Amino acid sequence: MMMKTLGMLLLTSAMTAGLAACGEQAKTDNDTTSGAATQDSSVAEQSDQTASDSTSASIPSLTELWVTDGFAAPEGVTLSADGGFYYVSNVNGGGSDVDNNGFISKMSLDGDISDLDWITGLNAPKGMALHDGKLYVSDIVSLVVIDAERGAVIDTIPMQDSSFLNDVTYVPGHGILVSDSGTATIYQYNDGVPSVWMQDERLARVNGLLAHDGALLVAAMEAGELLSVDLQTKEITLIAGGMENADMMAPLDNGGYLVSSWPGIIHYVSPEGERMTVQDTVDLPVNMNDFTMNGDVLVTPNWRPGTVRAYRVDMP
């Protein structure tokens, strides 16, 4: 039976002098067991590095709501179509290992694992996106299509010349877009046809994708940048830099953004493009991977140590 402790730990906004530089995502296995949500006080302690009053008053704060363990290198979290639960992708091995160990779990809004092994037999599933009753999942060099209602894989689409497919998003009028961190490419799957949507040197180690306000938000790990790509012209605009290993982003109501760097940093980018650190758990280590925002709740998978965490985001 799952034991869950709800935490109300205020993670004080912090300014960090330098970001930890990491080469590539950890590839350690985690035991696949039933989940148990627990309080993780070490995260709060690591993040309790108080900035000046003027700085901390200008950036969001995170209040930890729950932590659920029992996952196996979780990389992505996506809200269900009805908003009633989350899908969690589990790599369960190395990020490029063709081992049939990867799986997708279902988790309640409160962090209870309802079905750990909902979909099995994948390799290294990462980013996910829902559209028209189907869950699209990146899996190294293929896009896996799952019937969300039946819980069954219905198609696997190879992306030619890809090497490390990562995030997935649905863009109206453009179909499914998939980032390839290995080739600085964004692939497209539209009307049943896979193709290259965009290639650019500024997309080196491209990761997170999100359609927002008529543009595509892109996280580029190599340069540590949050970019905006015009969906029609594909012109690239820099929003902010200084976020090495940038993973995922979430727009905020004030025009700013939260951005994760997977080794364990949550950044805040102001509407003016200024970057500040909200939380740093690199040294624990607690990774911050492909998160999702559900209202004012940030839900982030942690490849290490094999957990998923939820935080309430409080704006200044």
pLDDT at 207: 98
Other beta carbons within 10 Å of 169: 24
Question: Would you state the pLDDT for residue 181?
Answer: 98
Question: Model pTM?
Answer: 0.86
What confidence tens digit (pLDDT) does each residue in 162-198 have? Answer: 999 999 999 999 999 999 999 999 999 999 999 999 9
Query: What pLDDT, on the 0 to 100 scale, is given for residue 26?
Result: 35
Q: What is the pLDDT of residue 298?
A: 98
Domain boundaries, the chain: 9-14+28-314
SS3 71: coil
Find where tokens 């309080």 sit: 39
Determine the pLDDT at residue 55.
58
Instruction: Convert the pLDDT of each residue in 207-264 to its tens digit.
Output: 999 999 999 999 999 999 999 999 999 999 999 999 999 999 999 999 999 999 999 9
**How many Å apart are CA 246 and CA 260, to the nearest integer?**
6
pLDDT(133) > 90: yes
Q: Is the pLDDT of residue 15 over 80?
A: no
What are the angstrom distances between the C-alpha of 180 and each of 38, 73, 200?
Answer: 34, 19, 12
User: Is 50 exceeded by the pLDDT of residue 32?
Assistant: no
What number of H helices and E strands is found in the chain? 2, 25
Rounded-to-integer distance, Cα 228 and Cα 209, Å = 10
Residue given tokens 């409080």 in the structure block = 314
Instruction: Supply the mean pLDDT for the chain.
Output: 87
**Cα 273 from Cα 136, distance rounded (Å):** 31
3-class DSSP assignment, residue 284: coil
Burial letters for 91-102: b for 16+ Cβ neighbours within 10 Å, e otherwise?
A: bbbbbbbeeebb
Res. 35: pLDDT tops 80: no
Please identify which residue in the block is written with the tokens 């559900």. Answer: 294
- Which tokens sit at 284? 């624990």
Summarised one tens digit per residue, pLDDT across range 84-93 is: 999 999 999 9
Preceding omega of 285 cis (within 30 degrees of 0): yes
* pLDDT tier at 56, thresholds 50, 70, 90: low
Residue found under tokens 């493009």: 273
Q: Which fold has domain 9-14+28-314?
A: Neuraminidase (2.120.10)
CA distance 296 to 230: 27
Look at residue 4 in the predicted model and tell me its pLDDT.
44
Q: What pLDDT, on the 0 to 100 scale, is given for residue 188?
A: 98
Q: Which residue has the higher pLDDT, 159 or 14?
A: 159
Higher-confidence residue of 141 and 20: namely: 141
